[in-house]
């Protein structure tokens, strides 16, 4: 057994066994880690148990005796409540001293920094490692992790995260992983709106989708929103546009991430114009039927809002 073997990592309490958490926990178990799961929704726990994740009856039970607490929650408010405890002892109080609190959720940068401060003040260690790659990446173990942690944590984090992901980027200290994630996703939201506007303009000017794609994909407008997630059917057969915008990356998640970007832009006092506008556009998209559609479906709104 080597020093870095899964067994020496101790027990991992995996909290939040939703779309992403369950397959991530399963991959840790397959790699030989000792994992105990918990979710507040009984159906999520039942599904995780069925998938082979042993579950505790409470978060406190899962965390007692753990050396790592890995969270995959919907929001930072939920994370902070769980850490502090809402009316009962929080995870920071229940966990053994020097536990590594590893949050892989996508949350507000300011809340990630607050969570790290609380964690360190309680005598534990902290890391944020939000992901990209979606449910497909979680199942395949090919996620990208953006890590915000002290250098001294990287060796242990690498042993854990490389089981669930294929690319790990150490972005800096506490909160830096969340910061990198929302900067990237803000650019993604803006570039998808730009790609969609370009294709609708091309339609109006009589260009075929393929002709415009052939130019953009090899010219200076080239971007992931066009070459991988092309908002029109045809040029990129695997893009969600070819299957009626079944996600992919859902509009609800893009709206959420742009909301987090908006908070960070305001906190940092950035003179941004497109980030806030993209947040507004995707909030409307999500609220008016796009929540469960791929975010490239924004092109439909642009087309529908254009003159006949
Ligand atoms: P999800 O809603 O499917 O899962 C979250 C789970 O957390 C739920 O099962 C919920 O019951 C559970 N939960 C909530 N509060 C809890 C608590 N106090 N204790 C234990 N469990 C609790 O969401 P998801 O799609 O799995 O996403 C999880 C996180 O990953 C989010 O922050 C999301 O933004 C991020 N993310 C998701 C995707 C994606 O494609 N789904 C991609 C990248 C990042």
Model confidence pLDDT, tens digit, residues 53-92: 999 999 999 999 999 999 999 999 999 999 999 888 999 9
Pocket of ligand 1 (CB under 6 A): 15-21, 38-41, 44, 59, 72-74, 78, 82, 105-106, 131-132, 134-135, 253, 256
pLDDT attached to residue 308: 87
| Confidence class for position 8, pLDDT limits 50, 70, 90 | low
Task: Please tell me the distance between residue 200's alpha carbon and the centre of ligand 1 in angstroms.
Answer: 34
Task: Please tell me the distance between residue 15's alpha carbon and the centre of ligand 1 in angstroms.
Answer: 9
Task: Please tell me the distance between residue 38's alpha carbon and the centre of ligand 1 in angstroms.
Answer: 12
Model confidence pLDDT, tens digit, residues 204-255: 999 999 999 999 999 999 999 999 999 999 999 999 999 999 999 999 999 9
- CA dist 164 and 134 (Å) reads 12
Averaged pLDDT for residues 125-147: 96
For 7-172, the fitting CATH number among 3.40.50.720, 2.60.40.3710, 3.30.420.40, 3.40.50.2300 is: 3.40.50.720
At residue 87, φ and ψ (nearest 5 deg) are 85, 0
Percent of the chain whose predicted confidence (pLDDT) is above 90: 94
| Confidence class for position 6, pLDDT limits 50, 70, 90 | low
Query: Which of 16, 286, 292 for a ligand 1 pocket mutation test, highest count of atoms within 8 Å of Cβ?
Result: 16
Task: Report the first-to-last Cα separation within the chain, whole angstroms.
Answer: 69
Query: Which of 20, 25, 85 for a ligand 1 pocket mutation test, highest count of atoms within 8 Å of Cβ?
Result: 20
Task: Please tell me the distance between residue 18's alpha carbon and the centre of ligand 1 in angstroms.
Answer: 5
* Cα–Cα–Cα angle for 143, 146, 151, rounded to 5 degrees: 125
pLDDT attached to residue 110: 97
**What is the residue-averaged pLDDT of the chain?**
96
- Nearest Cα residue to 293 out of 234, 252, 235: 252
For the chain, give every domain's residue range.
Answer: 7-172, 180-304
pLDDT attached to residue 86: 83
Q: Is 181 a catalytic residue?
A: yes
Structure tokens at 96: 């053994």
pLDDT attached to residue 7: 46
CA 105 to chain centre: 6
User: Of 181, 204, 256, 284, which is the active-site residue?
Assistant: 181
Angstrom CA distances, 145 to 122, 192, 236, 243, stand at 25, 22, 26, 28
pTM of the model: 0.94
- Could you confirm whether domain 180-304 is CATH 1.10.1040.10? yes
Of all protein residues, the one whose alpha carbon is nearest to atom 30 of ligand 1 is: 105
Residue 211 makes CB contacts below 8 A (sequence gap 6+) with 202
Averaged pLDDT for residues 178-196: 98
Q: How many CB atoms lie within 10 A of CB 168?
A: 18
């Amino acid at each position: 057994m080597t020093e870095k073997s899964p067994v020496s990592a101790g027990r991992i309490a995996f909290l939040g066994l939703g779309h992403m958490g369950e397959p991530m926990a399963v991959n840790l178990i397959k790699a030989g880690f000792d994992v105990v799961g918990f979710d507040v929704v009984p159906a999520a726990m039942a599904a995780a148990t069925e998938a082979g994740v042993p579950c505790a009856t409470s978060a406190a039970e899962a965390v007692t005796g753990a050396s790592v607490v890995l969270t995959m929650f919907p929001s930072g408010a939920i994370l902070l409540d769980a850490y502090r405890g809402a009316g009962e002892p929080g995870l920071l109080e229940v966990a053994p001293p020097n536990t590594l609190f590893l949050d892989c959720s996508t949350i507000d940068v300011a809340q990630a920094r607050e969570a790290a401060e609380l964690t360190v003040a309680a005598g534990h260690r902290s890391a944020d490692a939000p992901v990209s790659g979606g449910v497909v990446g979680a199942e395949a173990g090919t996620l990208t992790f953006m890590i915000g942690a002290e250098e001294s944590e990287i060796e242990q984090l690498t042993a854990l995260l490389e089981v669930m992901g294929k690319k790990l980027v150490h972005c800096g200290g506490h909160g830096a992983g969340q910061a990198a994630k929302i900067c990237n996703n803000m650019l993604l939201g803006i570039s998808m709106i730009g790609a969609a506007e370009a294709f609708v303009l091309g339609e109006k000017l009589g260009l075929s989708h393929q002709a415009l794609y052939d130019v953009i994909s090899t010219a200076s407008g080239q971007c992931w929103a066009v070459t991988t997630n092309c908002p029109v059917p045809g040029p990129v057969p695997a893009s969600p546009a070819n299957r009626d915008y079944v996600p992919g990356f859902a509009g609800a998640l893009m709206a959420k991430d742009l909301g987090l970007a908006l908070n960070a832009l305001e906190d940092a006092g950035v003179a941004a114009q497109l980030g806030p506008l993209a947040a507004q556009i995707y909030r409307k998209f999500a609220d008016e039927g796009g929540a469960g559609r791929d975010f490239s479906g924004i092109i439909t709104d642009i087309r529908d809002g254009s003159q006949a």
